[in-house]
Amino acid sequence: MSGIRNLGMPFDPDLFSDLKMNRSAIERRAKSLGGRRSVKKEWQAAWLLKTITFIDLTTLAGDDTDGRVKRLCAKALRPVKEDVLLSLGAQSLNIHPGAVCVYNNFVGIAVKALAGSGIPVAAVSTGFPAGHTPLAIRLVEIRASVKAGAQEIDIVIERHMVLNENWRALYTMIARCREVCGEAHIKVILGTGELGTLTHVAKASMVAMMAGADFIKTSTGKEGVNATLPVSLVMVRMIRTYFEMTGYKIGYKPAGGISDSKTALQYVILMKEELGNDWLTPDLFRIGASSLLTDIERQLEHCATGRYAAYHHQPLV
């Protein structure tokens, strides 16, 4: 990642205590994102190729193996078939995902498989997905991930801190994690589907950024409700507010449930309209997904040949 890194700021509840979210207005605005915009033909292919660069290609399953992680990395190195790229005139664009995201114990495998590619490895740490482990143990996990070569650390917050509105504890926990990350960038997973209200989402977003988050992220992908457009609208507007306050550009990552191209493009549109073109870069926008790339490949093949390939022609791992 490039640019001026968020240094955070002292904890100040006066900056967010009066925040209140109007759910009906937010949902109305979010609904408009998919209803009035259409991207077709070569423009669709261009946007889908761009979307691949935003993906954190992810495997976070209980049955992950070294072999699966190696296959995921191989897919990251060649996310689209060469003949499709050639047909689209995109063979020289060096298209690859924003990162490969794995559990802490697979970081070394992924780092070795991606060596020299420039694709960073992101590790989920801090008691993923629930976050209910002692802080000292979570800090050990982060240090181990960084030592193994992870350039990005995805941490999970303790949701009870938000539900009980214990904002100072949340700030302290995130700040401690940021400290031990060192040069590795930190993505803070809020678990928005378990925070109760959009106002809680807004306040938790602001606290995370104040504590030094490089990215704020919706979900682990394991909750009952993961990324949604209304939640995303709240979070990106908090990012805009923080930028206006501090000059720091914070990244955004929706995760969980984004499995088709049409949905992914709605999130791209959201970023473009709410934050502008500066945020349409892997440094500031990621999509956490495991199956999205397969659908994008099918759409690109249709753009190139006029036919949809079977899903098994684009195996992920």
* pLDDT one-digit tens code per residue, 81-134: 999 999 999 989 999 999 999 999 999 999 999 999 999 999 998 888 888 899
Is 40 catalytic? The answer is no
Q: Exactly one of 56, 75, 154, 295 is catalytic; which is it?
A: 154
> CATH assignment of 40-313, given 3.20.20.70, 3.40.50.150, 3.40.50.300, 1.20.1070.10?
3.20.20.70
Active site residue 154: yes
* pLDDT at res. 121: 98
Per-residue pLDDT band at 307 (split at 50, 70, 90): confident
pLDDT exceeds 70 at position 314: no
d(CA 114, CA 112): 6
* Position 317 confidence tier, pLDDT thresholds 50, 70, 90: low
- Would residue 147 show up in a list of annotated catalytic residues for this protein? no
The single residue of 187, 217, 249, 295 carrying the catalytic annotation is 217
What's the mean pLDDT when you consider all of the chain? Answer: 92
- Tell me: pLDDT of 141 over 80: yes
What's the gap between Cα 240 and its chain centre? Answer: 17
Let me know: does 153 contact 140? Beta carbons within 8 Å.
no
Residue predicted with more confidence, 192 or 1: 192
Candidate list 75, 187, 249, 253, residue with the active-site label:
253
- Domains of the chain, by residue range, sit at 40-313
Report the pLDDT value the prediction gives residue 130, as an integer from 0 to 100: 86
Higher-pLDDT residue of 239, 81: 239
State the pLDDT at residue 190: 97
Model confidence pTM above 0.85 = yes
CB 124 within 8 A of CB 95: no
Reported as a single tens digit per residue, the pLDDT across 58-78 is 999 999 999 999 999 999 999
